[in-house]
Structure 1
Amino acid sequence: MSAINWNQGQLISFGQGDTATCNGGLNKGQLYGLFFYNAAGNDASTTVVVTGNNSLPPVTVTVPGTTANQGLAAICFVSGDETATIAASILNGQPGANIQAFIGSVKMPTDTSGINNQGLSLNGQQQSFQKFTRFYAVPASHWYAGQITSNINAFMSVQFTENAATVICVNAPSTGITGVIAYYGTQAQPKVVLNPVPYQSASWSLFGNGQQIVWINADSVQNSQSATISVQSLQALYAAPKHDKAAAGVA
């Protein structure tokens, strides 16, 4: 059993009896996602218990079982308006449990060791995901078109703004994606939009406001490598009108 300092939201590994705590690191007015990957060498699901504000009940998150660390993540959303501290625990009675986790938002993780943290170009160029990928950009105040494409079933990623998130799932299963989504407290769920689409590509529009937007994938290594994201500016480009001297009677 060990206590893990999770104050920077960094990528961690923890197992049976361990608790990871982010003590006072969540900000009011911001939404966070706790991303949990099952890294055990067996196909058994793992139960993670999320706690924070003592006035709110714990939330149980089931991280899907997998082999060879290839599974889909489970995500628990939490609002900084309800708690500044959040903790994740793996209870006893789960021998061999091994979870990799990090905290994602426009702020976190502040320690990006082990995370593929990179800027996203806004010129429409397709960029590939990897496992633990966090793309960031600061769109200007005009419209943009976003697109995520993958030929893998149920490829999932999350778009974060400061106090909201959209879960985008392409090739979504008919059963939906709610089984891997959890919410701590009462204020997180209204700030999250689920956008499952049954096709290989999902497109959406966004309006920039000079604030950072973050995209984090929640899928396995092999699934992420075949997925791409692009965001393209839709700002109209106006050419300066030419001044026709002859028409104006000017020599």
Structure 2
Amino acid sequence: MARLNNSVKKGPVMSAINWNSGKLITLTQGDTATIEGLNSGQVYGFFFYNAAQNDATTIVDVTWSNAHPPQQVPVYGTTANQGLASVLLMSGDDSNTVAASILQGNPGADVQAFVCSVKMPVDTSGINNQPLPANGQPQAFRRFTRYFDVPASHWYDVTIESDVDQFIVVQFTEEMAEVIVVKSVANPKENVFPVGRVEKDKLFSIQPTEDERIQVNLQGDGTQTVWMNADSVQNSQNATITLQSLTARDGRPRQRQDPALPV
């Protein structure tokens, strides 16, 4: 008598990920990560890197409002984990809950993701999180690096340099995100997706330059500023960021506790 084969072919394991800390996570086929408790009046960046060892683009569906359909964010394919981040920008005024999902129709998907703002991620595991000294000295700006500072109430100069095309940085203040592109050769809007109030009220800007260096004036007001690398490994090898006070007084403000930690 023939033996019955009762085995059932199993599909990918689906995971529901608690993302309240905004930490660096990995999303695969069928996964959904949910973050709750976003603050009103604050702009958040959701960063997605394609980590699959192939050049297939993965779509991440980001649900950010019951009144609007999910935003589809393409995370462009690459090899050896070398691609740029795709960044969704939204305001906590639109929703205090966001979910990022990879649907079942994305076999082989492998996306690294984290949340950045002046206070996120709370859990910085896997993120190089450190203060940016306002001493006019260039600091290495590697991939997954987040710099923060509390500029005093005067002017500063922020200089970002890279010798590789399309180096992208996102500068966050409480209610604004500025996308800075050094050696721009393509439209950065292909990697940046503003939604809701961020798009409607222009709570973001894109500042490209064709040069290897860009200088941005920053007027400090005693609140937090964050700079997040949104670029690839190879583009970040020689990249630097410099913060310099433009006042004769001691421009070094008192450092607050790391904003990515609970206070």
How does the TM-score come out when normalised to structure 1? 0.92
Among residues 184, 194, 202, which one is paired with 1:183 in the alignment?
A: 194
1:244 corresponds in structure 2 to none
2:140 corresponds in structure 1 to 128
Among residues 30, 41, 45, which one is paired with 1:33 in the alignment?
A: 45
Among residues 48, 58, 63, which one is paired with 1:51 in the alignment?
A: 63
2:100 corresponds in structure 1 to 88
Q: Is 1:151 matched up with 2:159? A: no
State the distance in 2 between where 1:95 and 1:196 align: 35
* SS of equivalent residue, structure 2 residue 134: coil
Question: How far is the alpha carbon of 1:237 from its aligned partner?
Answer: 4.2
Question: How far is the alpha carbon of 1:52 from its aligned partner?
Answer: 2.3
1:10–1:111 contact (8 Å) kept in structure 2: yes
2:211 corresponds in structure 1 to 199
State the distance in 2 between where 1:196 and 1:232 align: 21
Q: Is 1:21 matched up with 2:31? A: no
2:19 corresponds in structure 1 to 6
State the distance in 1 between where 2:106 and 2:94 align: 30
48-57 vs 224-233, greater mean Cα deviation: 48-57
* SS of equivalent residue, structure 1 residue 72: coil
Question: How far is the alpha carbon of 1:131 from its aligned partner?
Answer: 1.4
Among residues 164, 179, 188, which one is paired with 1:167 in the alignment?
A: 179
Q: Deviations over 1:78-120 (max 9, x none)?
A: 1000100011001121111100000000010000011000000
* SS of equivalent residue, structure 1 residue 188: helix
Among residues 102, 118, 123, which one is paired with 2:130 in the alignment?
A: 118
State the distance in 1 between where 2:76 and 2:209 align: 21
State the distance in 2 between where 1:103 and 1:42 align: 24
Question: Given residue 51 of structure 1, which amino acid in structure 2 is its aligned partner?
Answer: T
1:176–1:196 contact (8 Å) kept in structure 2: no
Does the C-alpha gap of structure 1 residues 125 and 42 become closer, same or farther in structure 2, counting only changes over 3 Å?
same
Question: How far is the alpha carbon of 1:53 from its aligned partner?
Answer: 2.2
2:111 corresponds in structure 1 to 99
Q: How high is the sequence identity, in percent, across the aligned residues? A: 55
State the distance in 1 between where 2:170 and 2:190 align: 15
User: Which structure 2 residue ranges, 5 or more long, are not aligned?
Assistant: 1-13, 251-263
Q: Deviations over 1:205-239 (max 9, x none)?
A: 0110000100000011221121000010001349x
Q: Deviations over 1:105-141 (max 9, x none)?
A: 0010000011000000001110011211100000000
Q: Is 1:68 matched up with 2:80? A: yes
User: Which structure 1 residue ranges, 5 or more long, are not aligned?
Assistant: 239-251
* SS of equivalent residue, structure 2 residue 197: coil
Show structure 1 runs of 4+ deviating over 2 A: none
1:78 corresponds in structure 2 to 90
How does the TM-score come out when normalised to structure 2? 0.87
Question: Given residue 65 of structure 1, which amino acid in structure 2 is its aligned partner?
Answer: G
